Structure 1
Amino acid sequence: MTTSKESENPESRFSVVLVSAAKLPGVRINREAYLRKALARYCSEDDILRAIEETPAAAGIPLEVLDKAANDSIGYETTKASALSAAAGIPGFMALPATVPADVAQYFGHMLRIAQKLAYLYSWPDLFSGDSDDLDDATKGVFTLFLGVMFGTQSANAAVGKVAGAMSKQVAKKLPQKALTQGVVYPIVKKVAGYLGVQMTKQTFAKTVSKAIPVVGAVLSGGLTLATYLPMAKRLKKHLSSLELTKPTHRVVQAEFVEVDDSLAEE
């Protein structure tokens, strides 16, 4: 009975897909390797090394350069996501039970990939803890908020801004665990997760319809991914690039994060 109720809970459905997508091969982005590759065309070796050791903002890399690197990554990930979505649409109606859940997880996996890339360019810390591919609660919360921004939820925009603002003041190399898991922005994380669970169900239905006819379904599915993924990635890019973390006003130091006061949670 409990399992059945959880499966009907949008927040729980989203959480299951988020965790599953994060565990897919290739979803986790190595921050150091990515920054080195993304900035190689635009920055000196010294700037790249400092961006890796601290942040791109602390390295003094201009926002316009970061925007160019971000656009490169968005273009790459959009093309890849659309191609794989189209390929998953080829089997047709008889394969729907197998392909639709996998395609949805794959789609969210690509959303997590671009979210990580944009976060690292715009001076967020490494989002995964150590060598584990498992999501801790703080990372799960941040990804939920990032995806909320991509889906256009204003509460997610505000919460991401609060977390980024607190991090820019504390200049620490880790996420604010307490704020994301107990108070401050945690209620917003739960609200956004519920909203995304509802949107995910709608998206699953849309993909089911698009894949009902072989070949044609492949074209429709790939087109659907292109039409949704690209603007959502650009929405996250626009928001992250506008935050205080992108401004080189502080140098990042090795420090424990001092939790922000709960008053920051007030809208």
Structure 2
Amino acid sequence: MTDANDVQRSRAGFSQVLDAAARLPGVRIDRAVYLRAALARYCDEAQIETAVVRSPAVAGVPNHVVRAVAQTSIAYETSKVTGLSALAGVPGGLAVLGTVPADAAQYVGHMLRIAQKLAYIYSWPDLFDDGGGDLDEATEGILTLFLGVMVGVQLAQAGVSKVSAILAQQVLAQLPRHALTKGAVYPVVKKVAAVLGVSMTKRLFAGGVAKVVPVLGAVVAGGLTLGTFLPMSRKLERHLASLEITRPDRGVVFDESVVVPDEA
């Protein structure tokens, strides 16, 4: 049986990898810029602006358009995943890694890019609220759940569904921070982080991404294969597409003027 201290250490290791990946240049996606570019060929300017200010669901973006954008984003990100040096190969890239293995942070960085794009086209709010510093706890929590869904942790699906339900039921301009850091979703986040930490982080620190076969699949040295990144992306896309905030009648209206108390 895994010792509780080992679980805590590997959870902390996973958190370190996640934070390093999120600070790599090019990882954080600007929601407004992405939505405007992704919807430009399908929607008029008024609908695009509503999608940015509110959400694609509230803007009435048809499901087939949302799916087409999602598939285009997956194809684009998959085509970019041709080598582990892509994200850290720019000035300052490797400097943010610290003690985190470069290939580990870069792999997770690629996962974070597609997770953000899929979240935004499926009507989630901004996942980041700063200019590039350390992750806040709520953002770390939702990203942990997204990555958990991608690698097949069933508990992560329940966590993402719960956060989606909170967003659909309340008028929120950002992630439900209380639920992710102290409330109903927080225990799920901790458990998913522990699973990812025990199953993934130990192998990352033991010798790099090339050894992460049980969780992430076969990864060849120097590149991420079509056989791993594409199925993981599609798994997250399918789950996000099933959530109620994607429906026009339940889409989230991101109104900054409305103050909503912390949920229980």
Is the TM value for this pair above 0.5?
yes
* Alpha-carbon distance in 1 for matches of 2:133, 2:236: 23
* Alpha-carbon distance in 2 for matches of 1:6, 1:16: 15
Q: CA deviation at 1:6?
A: 7.6
- Specify whether residues 240 and 258 from structure 1 end up closer, same or farther in structure 2 by C-alpha distance, changes over 3 A only: farther
Aligned to 1:63: 63
- Specify whether residues 8 and 158 from structure 1 end up closer, same or farther in structure 2 by C-alpha distance, changes over 3 A only: closer
Q: Which has the higher helix share?
A: 1
Correspondence 1:144 to 2:144 = yes
**Does the 8 Å CA contact 2:203/2:211 hold for their aligned counterparts?**
no
Correspondence 1:115 to 2:115 = yes
**Does the 8 Å CA contact 1:7/1:13 hold for their aligned counterparts?**
no
Note the residue ranges of structure 2 that are not aligned, 5 or more in a row.
88-97, 213-218
Q: CA deviation at 1:64?
A: 1.2
Q: CA deviation at 1:87?
A: 7.9
* CA RMSD after TM alignment: 2.6
Q: CA deviation at 1:173?
A: 1.0
Query: What is the total number of aligned residue pairs between the two structures?
Result: 239
* Alpha-carbon distance in 2 for matches of 1:170, 1:126: 16
Aligned to 2:180: 180
Within a 5 Å distance, the mapping from 1:254-265 to structure 2 comes to 254=256, 255-261=258-264
- Superposed CA deviations along residues 109-155 of structure 1, whole A, max 9, x for unmatched, are 01111111011101100111143433111000000000011011111
Of 114-123 and 100-109, more deviation after overlay is shown by 100-109
Aligned to 1:19: 19
Correspondence 1:249 to 2:244 = no
TM-score normalised per structure 2: 0.82
Which amino acid is the alignment partner of residue 83 of structure 2? Answer: L
Note the residue ranges of structure 1 that are not aligned, 5 or more in a row.
89-97, 211-218, 262-267
Q: CA deviation at 1:7?
A: 9.8
Aligned to 1:37: 37
- Specify whether residues 243 and 228 from structure 1 end up closer, same or farther in structure 2 by C-alpha distance, changes over 3 A only: same
Aligned to 1:93: none
Structure 1 runs of 4+ with >4 Å offset? 5-8
Q: CA deviation at 1:209?
A: 5.7
**Does the 8 Å CA contact 2:11/2:197 hold for their aligned counterparts?**
yes
- Specify whether residues 199 and 76 from structure 1 end up closer, same or farther in structure 2 by C-alpha distance, changes over 3 A only: farther
- Specify whether residues 114 and 224 from structure 1 end up closer, same or farther in structure 2 by C-alpha distance, changes over 3 A only: closer
Structure having the higher Rg? 1
* Alpha-carbon distance in 2 for matches of 1:257, 1:156: 26
Aligned to 2:84: 85
Aligned to 2:199: 199
- Superposed CA deviations along residues 33-75 of structure 1, whole A, max 9, x for unmatched, are 0001111121111111110010000000011111110111111
